Amino acid sequence: MSRKKRILSGMRPTGKLHLGNYVGALENWVKLQGEYDNFHLIADYHVLTTQTDTSQILENTLEMVADWIACGIDPDQSPVFRQSQIKEHAELHLLFSMLVTTARLERNPTLKEQAKDLNMDSLIYGHLGYPVLQSADILLYKGEVVPVGEDQAPHVEITREIARKFNTLYGEVFPIPQTKLAVIPRLPGLDGAKMSKSLNNTILVADSPDEVQQKVMRAITDPQKIRRNDPGHPEVCNVFTYHKQFNAQEVPQIEADCKSGVLGCVDCKKNCAKKISDTFAPYADKRNHLINHKSELLDIIADGEKRAGKVARETMEAVREVMKLG
């Protein structure tokens, strides 16, 4: 039998996941789980590239991992672990930082955009170099495939450059990872802006049906459709975007009825809220159990760290050997 290729995927621990996190990453992780050898990283070091407050990292980690597992990540099959608890991440990051110039990192096309989104007047050293830490994350586990959206592809290219340079200078240790471009849906927030907790415009995976309905009912729709019988323009409506993701079967009829004026926004929103809640209803009991038994979550993470740590140590032994740092 051929060996499965390995994937390293991760998220910053920001607490409960919103629908944008789900459709943008988690849903795809679950689909890839049987096809690849997956490792799932809780990127708590990456939190420090944009903030210094660490007081909520552990609680946010548990909330996020509860969503991961409830939605289908199998930790027995795919180790789940914290970056900060496997010190080899920091060591490999340090070594890789010697192989890339600041000019190369400053050419990262997403850098200025991220700084703008985060309202950062000046970049800290850690934020400038976070693609190098990402490279260490991927290559520490000898990741061979990196599933990303098109906007993240430049980060993978930096990883590929670092792997090639290391292998040329010291010896073949790392695979050159391949980019697996995915069409990642981008769900707008309730106000039409990017879905973000900081903007208070999210629907959470963990929200109850009542909470989902309350939120969807205040979502911005077509500003030209004021009354029920007014013809609508679903292509500009946030709620129609949610329908396309969580209610695809009814989309053609909804689109036709909206355009003709037969379908009013209130009924459309109620239907959308129900379909979103129905999508996540099967996960609610498992999530609630995990949150009420956090010791189980901690055990899952500890087991993942033990398994991932073994791989990380083996990689670093090879790195030290070829670099004559033994």
pLDDT over threshold 80, residue 106: yes
Task: State the Cα–Cα distance between residues 125 and 105, nearest whole angstrom.
Answer: 11
Single pTM value for the model? 0.92
Across the range 42-49, mean pLDDT stands at: 94
Give the C-alpha separation, 252 to 57, whole Å: 43
Q: What is the pLDDT of residue 217?
A: 96
Helix, strand or coil, per DSSP, at residue 180: strand
The pLDDT, as a whole number, for residue 225 is: 85
List pLDDT tens digits, range 258-295: 999 999 999 999 999 999 999 999 999 999 999 999 99
Kindly indicate whether the domain formed by 207-287 is annotated with CATH number 1.10.1060.10.
no
Give the residue-averaged pLDDT of 65-73.
Answer: 97
User: Binning pLDDT at 50, 70 and 90, where does residue 111 land?
Assistant: confident
Per cent of the chain over pLDDT 70 is 95
Q: Find out if CATH 3.40.50.300 is the number for domain 6-187+294-322.
A: no
Delimiting residues of CATH 1.10.240.10 domain(s) in the chain: 207-287
| Alpha carbon distance 154, 104 (integer Å) | 11
The distance from CA 38 to its chain's CA centroid, rounded to whole angstroms, is 14
Q: How confident is the model at residue 115 (pLDDT cuts 50, 70, 90)?
A: low
Amino acid sitting at position 238: N
H or E segment at 232? Answer: none
Specify the DSSP element, H or E, that contains 148.
Answer: strand 145-148
Query: In the structure, what pLDDT confidence band is assigned to residue 117 with cuts at 50, 70 and 90?
Result: low
Q: Whole-angstrom distance between the N-terminal and C-terminal Cα of the chain? A: 35
Residue 34 has pLDDT above 90, yes or no: no
Q: How far apart are CA 255 and CA 128, in angstroms?
A: 44
Instruction: Name residue 80's amino acid.
Output: V
Confidence of residue 112 (pLDDT cuts 50, 70, 90): low
What is the crossing angle of helices 265-292 and 57-70, to 10°? 110
Q: In one letter, which amino acid is 105?
A: L
Dump pLDDT digits (tens) for 155-184: 899 999 999 999 999 999 999 999 887 666
Q: How confident is the model at residue 118 (pLDDT cuts 50, 70, 90)?
A: low
User: Would you place residue 119 in the very low, low, confident or very high pLDDT band (cuts 50, 70, 90)?
Assistant: low
Please provide the average confidence, as pLDDT, over all residues in the chain. Answer: 92
Question: How far, in Å, are 19, 129, 153, 154 from residue 149 at the CA level?
Answer: 16, 20, 7, 10
CB environment 181-214: b (16+ within 10 A), e (fewer): ebebeebbbbeeeebebeeebbbbbbbeeeebbe
Name the residue among 41, 53, 52, 33 with its Cα closest to residue 13: 41
**Residue 1: pLDDT over 60:** no
Give span(s): CATH 3.40.50.620, the chain. Answer: 6-187+294-322
What number of residues does the chain have? 326
- Is the pLDDT assigned to residue 110 strictly greater than 80? no
Can you tell me the distance from the alpha carbon of 213 to that of 195, in angstroms, rounded to the nearest whole number? Answer: 17
Q: In the chain, which ranges are continuous DSSP H helix?
A: 19-21, 27-32, 44-47, 57-70, 88-97, 102-106, 111-117, 125-128, 130-140, 153-170, 209-217, 238-246, 251-260, 265-292, 294-322
The proportion of the chain whose per-residue pLDDT surpasses 90, expressed as a percent, equals: 78
Q: pLDDT tens digit string along 193-245? A: 989 998 999 999 999 999 999 999 999 998 888 888 888 899 999 999 999 99
Report d(CA 267, CA 217) in Å as an integer: 10
